[in-house]
Chains A and B, each alone.
Chain A
Amino acid sequence: MKIGVIRFPGTNNEHETMRALDSFEGVQPTLIEHYQPERLDDVDGLYIPGGFSYGDVLRAGAIAKTTPIMKEIIKAVSGGMPAIGICNGFQILTEAGLVKGVLMPNRSTRFVCKFVNIKISENETYLNNLAGRVMRLPIAHFEGNLWYPQPESLKRNAIAQYSSNTGEIVPEANPNGSVENIAGLANEKGTAIGMMPHPERAVFKYQGSTDGRAIIGAFLEEVKC
């Protein structure tokens, strides 16, 4: 199974993403440069890793959405290809309109880099088997403050919320000001997911947590189907 890892200028999480994907049986990660839209035809799923695409000029993810490869990504995702966007990848998905909302600068206006707990929400996506699980994953972002004019309506697309280590959705657990503590969102079909926490940085023991394996595993299961 081939997973395309998309690299824009300024993407910097692609190597740990490739390494993480490589650790799963039967998975062949392949790096797709932003100028290789035609290579999307050769892959079964898409992983849009984090970083600072195009230097976060204008708004995080805003420039990436104007590139030709984005048109192809939108086409592929609309056609049902499973996709996951992490951190800047999530920002790109929101800017491109593949998932709802917008990721504004953190409420604190500080870059936040730490482990957080998230609780997987009840959802109708490929993560539905994980619902209720509390996970420890790292975040590292300046623009992770999810905002939407009707936050209540966003809840049904939520795939995870920032929580305490026992799974309580409390304001103290919210690292960036996101509405409803939402840490990740899916599109309406449930085939594309964006999230701020980094599952690919919680795959090996030496990373301090291996909770991310379950998320990547569920994504790969979806691709296999």
Chain B
Amino acid sequence: MISTQPNLYSGKVKTVEIVDEETVMIHFRDDITAGDGAKRDSLANKGKINCEMTVMIFNHLEKAGIPTHLIKKVDGQKILAKKLQILPVEVVVRNIAAGSFCRRYGIEEGRNFEKPLVEFFLKDDELHDPLISKNAIFALGLATPLEVSVMESMALRVNRVMNDLFSKAGMLLVDFKIEIGKDANGDLYLADELSPDSMRVWEQDTKEKLDKDRFRKDLGNVIESYQTILERLQGIDFVPEPQAFKVKVIINPKKDVPNPAGEVVKRSLVNFGIEGLASVSVGKTISTTFETELAEPKWQEKIRKAAHEFLSNPLIEDFSIEVFEE
């Protein structure tokens, strides 16, 4: 983002104004760009439509128990949001193959994935937002394993709610991109926007493209199509399903502590023809399910305390925390 005023940051299609230590104002402009800004235009009403759709979807997601940065809508194309440190990794969920995925792997657009596919991309315009592996995220220190597990789970939960929403409105959610930010406590929130700029949406029956691909591929009627998506989503009676939030604590014996159970299991594994074992260690996993992530604010701090003081015995055990999806 390019800074024009000390507290004003202008991105490709949005402007962020820092209001105070905890809040920002996000202005959805009418600009539209593609190919990292190589192609650009301005479409009347686009900011308003994207703002409205983001607010509508984020409200649904909050009702489903997914924490978002949205505080409230301010006017036609502005929202007040939590000030967050945006993680430098974007998360993409794909239900149907399209876009860069097809180019990368040389496959036809339109292949349905058996399970939604989550991909991570480094946020870096100069490098053209390259795909990034989890190991590279850890190696570069961009996010911790726990944060990445939250991001992945959040993306899948958002996908379930949005899939439900779009299919009820007769549309196919092909893929979408989200950004995630963290507050001073380290809690993660869905940030940025969810609009036809950040997702692919097809007509359910005809597979006609309704999203920003109309702009990318010069298919015409861009803003009309954006407006149609918004109206159709607004036109249905939608009650989002609460999205369960699952956290597991994995407890393992410390390396230098004797593990009698592991030694006995090791001896018994010989009966299965396994003889090359240097050591076996037996730990445990405690899997918890919250009704939703929003049901337990500051869960990280609380789970970590419980894991340290109760679920594990720090004298003999180490633990790690992970968010997971079935």
Contact = CB atoms under 8 A, between A and B. Distances in A.
A55 B299 CA distance: 27
B76 interface: no
Nearest to A106: B260
Nearest to A97: B309
Interface in B286-326: 310-311, 313, 315-316
B278 interface: no
B313 A95 contact: yes
Interface residues of A, number: 19
A147 B258 contact: yes
Given A109-B260, A109-B264, A177-B260, A147 B315 contact: yes
Interface in B248-295: 257-258, 260-261, 263-264
B316 A58 contact: no
Nearest to B306: A66
Contacts of A106: 260
A58 B315 contact: no
Contacts of A214: none
Chain A binding site: helix, strand, loop or mixed by DSSP?
Answer: loop
Contacts of B264: 109
B316 A104 contact: yes
B260 A102 contact: no
A197 interface: no
B287 to A, nearest CB: 14
A143 to B, nearest CB: 10
B258 A58 contact: no
Contacts of B257: 104, 147
Contacts of B316: 102, 104, 147
B266 to A, nearest CB: 11
Interface string A101-122: 1101111110000000000000
Contact of A105 (B260, B310, B313): B260
Contact of B315 (A65, A107, A149): A149
A59 B261 contact: no
A177 B258 contact: yes
Contacts of A76: none
Interface centre among B260, B261, B263, B316 (most CB of A within 10 A): B260
Given A102-B313, A107-B260, A149-B315, 7 more contacts: A58-B311, A95-B313, A104-B257, A105-B260, A108-B260, A148-B315, A177-B258
